[in-house]
Amino acid sequence: NLVDPQAEDRELKGQLLRKYSGYLGSLKQEFMKKRKKGKLPKEARQQLLDWWTRHYKWPYPSEAQKLALA
């Protein structure tokens, strides 16, 4: 009996989104309020903020996305 790990991941993602989607939206608002002067270059911060804006409902990058963001 083989189990599809991607199917398990999708199911877990769906469960977490249903349970925490409202909380994630409020987190986005909170992060946007707290604009601190960071130690990263402006260009790097902007790329991270752009990624967050596109993915705030599920803010967990894949390994490939982590490499691209780094």
pLDDT digits (tens, 9 = 90+) for 3-20: 677 888 888 888 888 888
Measured between alpha carbons, how far is residue 15 from residues 24, 45, 63 in Å?
14, 30, 21
Q: How much is the pLDDT for 9?
A: 86
**Residue 28 pLDDT greater than 80, yes or no:** no
Find tokens 């309020």 and name the residue: 33
What pTM, to 2 d.p., does this model score? 0.46
**DSSP-H helix ranges across the chain:** 5-33, 42-55, 63-69
If you count them, how many residues does the chain have? 70
**Residue 53 pLDDT greater than 70, yes or no:** yes
Q: Which residue has the higher pLDDT, 41 or 32?
A: 41
Structural domain spans, the chain: 1-33, 38-69
Q: How much is the pLDDT for 51?
A: 93
Tokens (6 digits) for 27: 């987190």
How many whole angstroms separate alpha carbon 52 and alpha carbon 2? 35
